[in-house]
Structure 1
Amino acid sequence: MYVSSRSRLASIATSWTLIQRAHAGEDTRASNARFGIIDQYGGAAWKYLLGVARDETLAEDLFQEFVLRILRGDLCRVTPQKGRFRDYIKSVLINLVRDHYRQHERLAVSLGEERTAAAPTCDEPADAFDSSWREALLRDTWQELKRCHPALFAVLHLHVDRVDEPASAKARRLGETLGQTFTANRFRVTLHRAREKFSAILQDKVAATLEDPSEACLRHELKHLRLLRYCRRADSPAP
Protein backbone atom coordinates (compact mmCIF):
# COMPACT_ATOMS: atom_id res chain seq x y z
CA MET A 1 0.00 0.00 0.00
CA TYR A 2 1.53 3.28 -1.08
CA VAL A 3 1.42 6.68 0.56
CA SER A 4 1.59 8.41 -2.81
CA SER A 5 -1.39 10.02 -4.48
CA ARG A 6 -2.49 10.02 -8.10
CA SER A 7 -2.74 13.81 -8.14
CA ARG A 8 0.88 14.18 -7.00
CA LEU A 9 2.18 11.60 -9.46
CA ALA A 10 0.29 13.27 -12.29
CA SER A 11 2.03 16.57 -11.57
CA ILE A 12 5.57 15.15 -11.71
CA ALA A 13 7.79 16.32 -14.56
CA THR A 14 9.41 13.15 -15.86
CA SER A 15 12.94 12.61 -17.07
CA TRP A 16 11.56 12.46 -20.60
CA THR A 17 10.44 16.07 -20.23
CA LEU A 18 14.02 16.93 -19.29
CA ILE A 19 15.40 14.90 -22.19
CA GLN A 20 13.12 16.57 -24.72
CA ARG A 21 14.13 19.97 -23.38
CA ALA A 22 17.80 18.99 -23.55
CA HIS A 23 17.54 18.40 -27.30
CA ALA A 24 15.18 21.22 -28.22
CA GLY A 25 18.01 23.49 -29.32
CA GLU A 26 21.35 24.91 -28.27
CA ASP A 27 20.19 27.63 -25.90
CA THR A 28 20.81 27.96 -22.17
CA ARG A 29 17.60 26.10 -21.35
CA ALA A 30 18.74 23.07 -23.36
CA SER A 31 22.23 23.22 -21.87
CA ASN A 32 20.84 23.30 -18.34
CA ALA A 33 18.64 20.32 -19.13
CA ARG A 34 21.65 18.34 -20.36
CA PHE A 35 23.49 19.06 -17.12
CA GLY A 36 20.30 18.00 -15.34
CA ILE A 37 20.52 14.59 -17.02
CA ILE A 38 24.13 14.27 -15.88
CA ASP A 39 23.16 15.20 -12.33
CA GLN A 40 20.39 12.63 -12.34
CA TYR A 41 22.26 9.68 -13.84
CA GLY A 42 25.92 10.60 -13.31
CA GLY A 43 26.35 8.99 -9.91
CA ALA A 44 24.97 5.64 -11.01
CA ALA A 45 26.92 5.81 -14.28
CA TRP A 46 30.20 6.46 -12.48
CA LYS A 47 29.72 3.64 -10.00
CA TYR A 48 28.77 1.25 -12.80
CA LEU A 49 31.82 2.17 -14.92
CA LEU A 50 34.15 1.86 -11.93
CA GLY A 51 32.75 -1.57 -11.09
CA VAL A 52 33.01 -2.83 -14.66
CA ALA A 53 36.39 -1.31 -15.58
CA ARG A 54 37.93 -2.09 -12.18
CA ASP A 55 40.37 0.76 -12.80
CA GLU A 56 39.70 4.30 -11.60
CA THR A 57 41.69 6.02 -14.35
CA LEU A 58 39.91 4.06 -17.07
CA ALA A 59 36.55 4.62 -15.41
CA GLU A 60 37.25 8.36 -15.29
CA ASP A 61 38.08 8.43 -19.01
CA LEU A 62 34.92 6.51 -19.88
CA PHE A 63 32.81 8.72 -17.63
CA GLN A 64 34.15 11.85 -19.33
CA GLU A 65 33.18 10.35 -22.69
CA PHE A 66 29.71 9.60 -21.32
CA VAL A 67 29.35 13.22 -20.15
CA LEU A 68 30.63 14.51 -23.49
CA ARG A 69 28.03 12.51 -25.40
CA ILE A 70 25.23 13.99 -23.34
CA LEU A 71 26.50 17.56 -23.60
CA ARG A 72 27.01 17.09 -27.33
CA GLY A 73 23.36 16.12 -27.71
CA ASP A 74 24.08 12.57 -28.90
CA LEU A 75 20.98 11.26 -27.16
CA CYS A 76 18.61 13.31 -29.30
CA ARG A 77 17.21 10.22 -31.04
CA VAL A 78 16.02 8.65 -27.79
CA THR A 79 12.24 8.49 -27.45
CA PRO A 80 9.90 7.01 -24.82
CA GLN A 81 8.77 4.46 -27.41
CA LYS A 82 12.25 2.89 -27.30
CA GLY A 83 11.90 1.98 -23.64
CA ARG A 84 13.09 3.32 -20.32
CA PHE A 85 15.76 5.99 -20.44
CA ARG A 86 17.60 4.15 -17.67
CA ASP A 87 17.96 1.14 -19.97
CA TYR A 88 19.24 3.37 -22.77
CA ILE A 89 21.85 4.90 -20.45
CA LYS A 90 22.91 1.40 -19.44
CA SER A 91 23.39 0.36 -23.08
CA VAL A 92 25.47 3.50 -23.73
CA LEU A 93 27.76 2.66 -20.82
CA ILE A 94 28.14 -0.98 -21.86
CA ASN A 95 29.08 0.09 -25.39
CA LEU A 96 31.60 2.61 -24.06
CA VAL A 97 33.45 -0.12 -22.18
CA ARG A 98 33.29 -2.62 -25.05
CA ASP A 99 34.48 -0.03 -27.58
CA HIS A 100 37.42 0.86 -25.36
CA TYR A 101 38.63 -2.74 -25.11
CA ARG A 102 38.12 -3.38 -28.82
CA GLN A 103 40.21 -0.33 -29.72
CA HIS A 104 42.84 -1.31 -27.17
CA GLU A 105 43.02 -4.81 -28.63
CA ARG A 106 43.28 -3.53 -32.22
CA LEU A 107 46.11 -1.19 -31.20
CA ALA A 108 47.99 -4.04 -29.55
CA VAL A 109 47.66 -6.20 -32.66
CA SER A 110 48.86 -3.39 -34.95
CA LEU A 111 51.92 -2.90 -32.74
CA GLY A 112 52.66 -6.61 -32.75
CA GLU A 113 52.08 -6.93 -29.02
CA GLU A 114 50.56 -9.89 -27.28
CA ARG A 115 46.80 -10.09 -27.25
CA THR A 116 45.44 -7.97 -24.42
CA ALA A 117 42.97 -9.17 -21.85
CA ALA A 118 39.41 -9.40 -23.04
CA ALA A 119 36.93 -6.80 -21.94
CA PRO A 120 35.09 -7.64 -18.75
CA THR A 121 31.53 -8.82 -19.18
CA CYS A 122 29.73 -5.50 -18.85
CA ASP A 123 26.35 -6.89 -18.06
CA GLU A 124 27.35 -9.50 -15.47
CA PRO A 125 25.61 -9.38 -13.13
CA ALA A 126 22.79 -8.27 -15.38
CA ASP A 127 21.45 -5.75 -12.91
CA ALA A 128 24.78 -4.02 -12.17
CA PHE A 129 23.63 -0.63 -13.40
CA ASP A 130 20.19 -1.09 -11.85
CA SER A 131 21.85 -1.70 -8.49
CA SER A 132 23.90 1.48 -8.88
CA TRP A 133 20.77 3.37 -9.87
CA ARG A 134 18.88 1.95 -6.90
CA GLU A 135 21.59 3.09 -4.49
CA ALA A 136 21.64 6.55 -6.10
CA LEU A 137 17.87 6.91 -5.66
CA LEU A 138 18.07 5.92 -1.99
CA ARG A 139 21.02 8.24 -1.38
CA ASP A 140 19.24 11.17 -3.03
CA THR A 141 16.10 10.42 -1.01
CA TRP A 142 18.04 10.51 2.25
CA GLN A 143 19.70 13.76 1.21
CA GLU A 144 16.41 15.43 0.32
CA LEU A 145 14.82 14.26 3.56
CA LYS A 146 17.76 15.73 5.49
CA ARG A 147 17.63 19.01 3.56
CA CYS A 148 13.88 19.56 3.66
CA HIS A 149 12.85 17.75 6.85
CA PRO A 150 15.87 17.62 9.19
CA ALA A 151 13.87 16.51 12.25
CA LEU A 152 12.28 13.62 10.35
CA PHE A 153 15.69 12.71 8.95
CA ALA A 154 17.14 12.64 12.48
CA VAL A 155 14.39 10.32 13.68
CA LEU A 156 14.59 7.88 10.78
CA HIS A 157 18.38 7.85 10.66
CA LEU A 158 18.57 7.16 14.38
CA HIS A 159 16.01 4.38 14.07
CA VAL A 160 17.91 2.70 11.24
CA ASP A 161 21.25 3.14 12.98
CA ARG A 162 19.97 1.67 16.27
CA VAL A 163 17.14 -0.55 15.08
CA ASP A 164 17.45 -2.98 18.00
CA GLU A 165 17.15 -0.35 20.72
CA PRO A 166 13.77 0.22 22.40
CA ALA A 167 11.81 3.33 21.50
CA SER A 168 12.46 4.84 24.94
CA ALA A 169 16.23 4.70 24.44
CA LYS A 170 16.00 6.14 20.94
CA ALA A 171 13.70 8.89 22.21
CA ARG A 172 16.28 9.83 24.82
CA ARG A 173 19.08 9.93 22.24
CA LEU A 174 16.98 11.99 19.84
CA GLY A 175 16.09 14.45 22.57
CA GLU A 176 19.78 14.98 23.32
CA THR A 177 20.50 15.54 19.62
CA LEU A 178 17.64 17.98 18.96
CA GLY A 179 17.56 19.62 22.37
CA GLN A 180 13.93 18.64 22.88
CA THR A 181 12.00 16.32 25.12
CA PHE A 182 11.00 13.11 23.35
CA THR A 183 8.88 10.42 24.92
CA ALA A 184 8.78 6.93 23.46
CA ASN A 185 5.30 7.61 22.10
CA ARG A 186 6.34 10.88 20.49
CA PHE A 187 9.28 9.09 18.91
CA ARG A 188 6.98 6.43 17.44
CA VAL A 189 4.59 9.04 16.02
CA THR A 190 7.44 11.06 14.49
CA LEU A 191 9.00 7.89 13.08
CA HIS A 192 5.68 7.09 11.39
CA ARG A 193 5.71 10.52 9.73
CA ALA A 194 9.36 10.15 8.75
CA ARG A 195 8.70 6.82 7.03
CA GLU A 196 5.77 8.31 5.14
CA LYS A 197 7.86 11.26 3.99
CA PHE A 198 10.79 9.05 2.98
CA SER A 199 8.42 6.87 0.97
CA ALA A 200 6.79 9.86 -0.74
CA ILE A 201 10.14 11.40 -1.71
CA LEU A 202 11.45 8.10 -3.06
CA GLN A 203 8.31 7.45 -5.10
CA ASP A 204 8.46 10.93 -6.59
CA LYS A 205 12.08 10.39 -7.62
CA VAL A 206 11.31 7.04 -9.25
CA ALA A 207 8.14 8.35 -10.93
CA ALA A 208 10.13 11.22 -12.40
CA THR A 209 12.25 8.71 -14.34
CA LEU A 210 9.24 7.13 -16.03
CA GLU A 211 7.58 8.12 -19.28
CA ASP A 212 4.25 7.17 -17.69
CA PRO A 213 4.33 7.96 -13.94
CA SER A 214 1.08 6.13 -13.23
CA GLU A 215 0.49 4.01 -10.12
CA ALA A 216 0.80 0.79 -12.13
CA CYS A 217 4.04 1.78 -13.87
CA LEU A 218 5.46 3.16 -10.65
CA ARG A 219 4.76 -0.09 -8.81
CA HIS A 220 6.39 -2.11 -11.59
CA GLU A 221 9.52 0.07 -11.52
CA LEU A 222 9.74 -0.02 -7.72
CA LYS A 223 9.48 -3.80 -7.82
CA HIS A 224 12.11 -4.08 -10.57
CA LEU A 225 14.54 -1.93 -8.57
CA ARG A 226 13.79 -3.77 -5.32
CA LEU A 227 12.48 -0.58 -3.74
CA LEU A 228 8.95 -1.72 -3.08
CA ARG A 229 9.57 -2.44 0.59
CA TYR A 230 10.48 1.21 1.19
CA CYS A 231 7.12 2.36 -0.11
CA ARG A 232 4.63 0.27 1.74
CA ARG A 233 2.58 1.41 4.68
CA ALA A 234 4.43 3.54 7.16
CA ASP A 235 4.21 0.81 9.80
CA SER A 236 6.18 -1.61 7.60
CA PRO A 237 9.95 -2.16 8.06
CA ALA A 238 11.93 1.08 7.85
CA PRO A 239 14.53 1.87 5.21
Structure 2
Amino acid sequence: MEAPVDDDATLMLAYARGELAAFDALYARHRGTLYRFLLRSARDPRLAEELFQETWSRVVAARTRYTPQAKFSTWLLQIAHNLLVDSYRRKRPLATGEEAELALMQVASPDQQQPEHVWSEFERRRRLQRAIEDLPEEQRTAVLLRLENELSVEEIAQVTGVGRETAKSRLRYAMNRLREQLAE
Protein backbone atom coordinates (compact mmCIF):
# COMPACT_ATOMS: atom_id res chain seq x y z
CA MET A 1 0.00 0.00 0.00
CA GLU A 2 1.50 3.36 -1.08
CA ALA A 3 1.64 6.14 1.55
CA PRO A 4 0.15 9.55 0.73
CA VAL A 5 2.98 11.80 -0.42
CA ASP A 6 1.82 14.79 1.61
CA ASP A 7 2.16 13.18 5.02
CA ASP A 8 5.72 12.72 6.31
CA ALA A 9 4.66 10.71 9.36
CA THR A 10 2.78 8.27 7.16
CA LEU A 11 5.84 7.95 4.92
CA MET A 12 8.09 7.26 7.91
CA LEU A 13 5.70 4.65 9.25
CA ALA A 14 5.56 3.04 5.80
CA TYR A 15 9.37 3.01 5.70
CA ALA A 16 9.38 1.31 9.13
CA ARG A 17 7.18 -1.42 7.58
CA GLY A 18 9.77 -1.92 4.84
CA GLU A 19 8.58 0.37 2.04
CA LEU A 20 11.89 1.71 0.74
CA ALA A 21 10.18 4.14 -1.65
CA ALA A 22 8.76 5.94 1.39
CA PHE A 23 12.29 6.67 2.63
CA ASP A 24 13.28 7.90 -0.83
CA ALA A 25 10.35 10.33 -0.75
CA LEU A 26 11.27 11.61 2.73
CA TYR A 27 14.89 12.02 1.75
CA ALA A 28 14.01 13.90 -1.43
CA ARG A 29 11.63 16.15 0.47
CA HIS A 30 13.94 17.05 3.39
CA ARG A 31 17.54 16.73 2.18
CA GLY A 32 17.89 20.35 1.05
CA THR A 33 16.40 21.86 4.16
CA LEU A 34 18.43 19.61 6.44
CA TYR A 35 21.71 20.27 4.63
CA ARG A 36 21.18 24.05 4.59
CA PHE A 37 20.41 24.01 8.32
CA LEU A 38 23.57 22.02 9.09
CA LEU A 39 25.77 24.06 6.76
CA ARG A 40 24.60 27.40 8.12
CA SER A 41 24.78 26.16 11.72
CA ALA A 42 28.16 24.42 11.51
CA ARG A 43 29.73 26.86 9.04
CA ASP A 44 32.01 24.05 7.88
CA PRO A 45 31.04 22.11 4.72
CA ARG A 46 32.91 18.96 5.79
CA LEU A 47 31.30 18.92 9.22
CA ALA A 48 27.89 19.68 7.68
CA GLU A 49 28.27 16.75 5.26
CA GLU A 50 29.35 14.43 8.07
CA LEU A 51 26.41 15.45 10.25
CA PHE A 52 24.03 15.24 7.28
CA GLN A 53 25.03 11.61 6.67
CA GLU A 54 24.89 10.78 10.38
CA THR A 55 21.42 12.34 10.73
CA TRP A 56 20.04 10.15 7.94
CA SER A 57 21.83 7.13 9.44
CA ARG A 58 20.05 7.84 12.73
CA VAL A 59 16.71 8.11 10.91
CA VAL A 60 17.32 4.73 9.31
CA ALA A 61 18.36 3.19 12.63
CA ALA A 62 15.33 4.63 14.46
CA ARG A 63 12.73 3.71 11.82
CA THR A 64 11.15 0.92 13.87
CA ARG A 65 11.01 3.09 17.02
CA TYR A 66 9.57 6.17 15.27
CA THR A 67 6.28 7.46 16.66
CA PRO A 68 4.68 10.54 15.11
CA GLN A 69 4.54 12.70 18.24
CA ALA A 70 5.80 15.80 16.40
CA LYS A 71 6.17 16.78 12.76
CA PHE A 72 8.73 14.62 10.98
CA SER A 73 10.74 17.73 10.05
CA THR A 74 10.91 18.74 13.73
CA TRP A 75 12.10 15.25 14.69
CA LEU A 76 14.68 15.26 11.87
CA LEU A 77 16.01 18.70 12.82
CA GLN A 78 16.16 17.65 16.48
CA ILE A 79 18.40 14.73 15.55
CA ALA A 80 20.61 17.05 13.48
CA HIS A 81 20.76 19.67 16.23
CA ASN A 82 21.73 17.08 18.85
CA LEU A 83 24.50 15.75 16.59
CA LEU A 84 25.73 19.30 16.02
CA VAL A 85 25.85 19.99 19.76
CA ASP A 86 27.67 16.70 20.33
CA SER A 87 30.24 17.58 17.65
CA TYR A 88 30.87 20.96 19.31
CA ARG A 89 31.41 19.27 22.65
CA ARG A 90 33.86 16.77 21.17
CA LYS A 91 35.85 19.13 18.97
CA ARG A 92 35.93 22.47 20.77
CA PRO A 93 38.07 23.02 23.81
CA LEU A 94 36.55 25.28 26.44
CA ALA A 95 37.73 28.86 26.03
CA THR A 96 39.06 30.86 28.93
CA GLY A 97 37.10 33.95 29.93
CA GLU A 98 39.59 36.23 28.11
CA GLU A 99 39.46 34.14 24.92
CA ALA A 100 35.66 34.15 24.97
CA GLU A 101 35.55 37.93 25.42
CA LEU A 102 38.00 38.45 22.57
CA ALA A 103 35.96 36.18 20.29
CA LEU A 104 32.74 38.02 21.21
CA MET A 105 34.37 41.39 20.51
CA GLN A 106 35.51 40.19 17.07
CA VAL A 107 32.06 38.79 16.22
CA ALA A 108 30.28 41.91 17.46
CA SER A 109 32.45 44.37 15.52
CA PRO A 110 30.47 45.75 12.59
CA ASP A 111 31.69 45.28 9.05
CA GLN A 112 33.09 48.73 8.11
CA GLN A 113 33.82 47.84 4.49
CA GLN A 114 30.26 48.26 3.20
CA PRO A 115 29.71 51.33 0.99
CA GLU A 116 27.17 53.92 2.08
CA HIS A 117 24.57 53.52 -0.67
CA VAL A 118 21.19 51.98 -1.26
CA TRP A 119 21.44 48.21 -0.96
CA SER A 120 20.33 45.93 -3.73
CA GLU A 121 18.21 42.94 -2.73
CA PHE A 122 21.25 40.68 -3.01
CA GLU A 123 23.34 42.93 -0.78
CA ARG A 124 20.56 43.13 1.82
CA ARG A 125 20.24 39.36 1.89
CA ARG A 126 24.00 38.95 2.19
CA ARG A 127 24.13 41.47 5.02
CA LEU A 128 21.32 39.57 6.78
CA GLN A 129 23.26 36.31 6.34
CA ARG A 130 26.36 37.88 7.88
CA ALA A 131 24.32 39.26 10.76
CA ILE A 132 22.82 35.81 11.37
CA GLU A 133 26.30 34.24 11.27
CA ASP A 134 27.43 36.76 13.91
CA LEU A 135 24.71 35.73 16.37
CA PRO A 136 25.61 33.56 19.35
CA GLU A 137 25.18 29.88 18.51
CA GLU A 138 21.90 29.35 20.42
CA GLN A 139 20.31 32.48 18.95
CA ARG A 140 21.54 31.63 15.44
CA THR A 141 20.04 28.14 15.70
CA ALA A 142 16.69 29.54 16.86
CA VAL A 143 16.61 32.10 14.03
CA LEU A 144 17.55 29.54 11.38
CA LEU A 145 14.89 27.13 12.61
CA ARG A 146 12.30 29.94 12.52
CA LEU A 147 13.22 31.66 9.26
CA GLU A 148 14.38 28.77 7.12
CA ASN A 149 12.30 25.93 8.50
CA GLU A 150 9.28 27.97 9.62
CA LEU A 151 9.12 26.21 12.97
CA SER A 152 6.95 27.57 15.77
CA VAL A 153 8.43 28.60 19.13
CA GLU A 154 7.18 25.29 20.58
CA GLU A 155 8.87 23.31 17.80
CA ILE A 156 12.12 25.28 18.23
CA ALA A 157 12.01 24.49 21.94
CA GLN A 158 11.51 20.81 21.14
CA VAL A 159 14.33 20.68 18.56
CA THR A 160 16.83 22.46 20.82
CA GLY A 161 15.74 20.72 24.02
CA VAL A 162 14.89 23.87 25.97
CA GLY A 163 11.71 25.29 27.46
CA ARG A 164 9.27 27.35 25.40
CA GLU A 165 10.16 30.59 27.21
CA THR A 166 13.88 30.02 26.63
CA ALA A 167 13.30 29.45 22.92
CA LYS A 168 11.09 32.54 22.77
CA SER A 169 13.72 34.60 24.58
CA ARG A 170 16.49 33.43 22.24
CA LEU A 171 14.38 34.40 19.25
CA ARG A 172 13.56 37.79 20.73
CA TYR A 173 17.19 38.59 21.56
CA ALA A 174 18.31 37.40 18.13
CA MET A 175 15.71 39.48 16.31
CA ASN A 176 16.63 42.58 18.35
CA ARG A 177 20.30 42.04 17.60
CA LEU A 178 19.60 41.55 13.90
CA ARG A 179 17.54 44.76 13.79
CA GLU A 180 20.39 46.66 15.45
CA GLN A 181 23.03 45.27 13.11
CA LEU A 182 20.95 45.89 9.99
CA ALA A 183 20.10 49.43 11.09
CA GLU A 184 23.81 50.36 11.17
Structure 1 length normalisation: TM-score?
A: 0.40
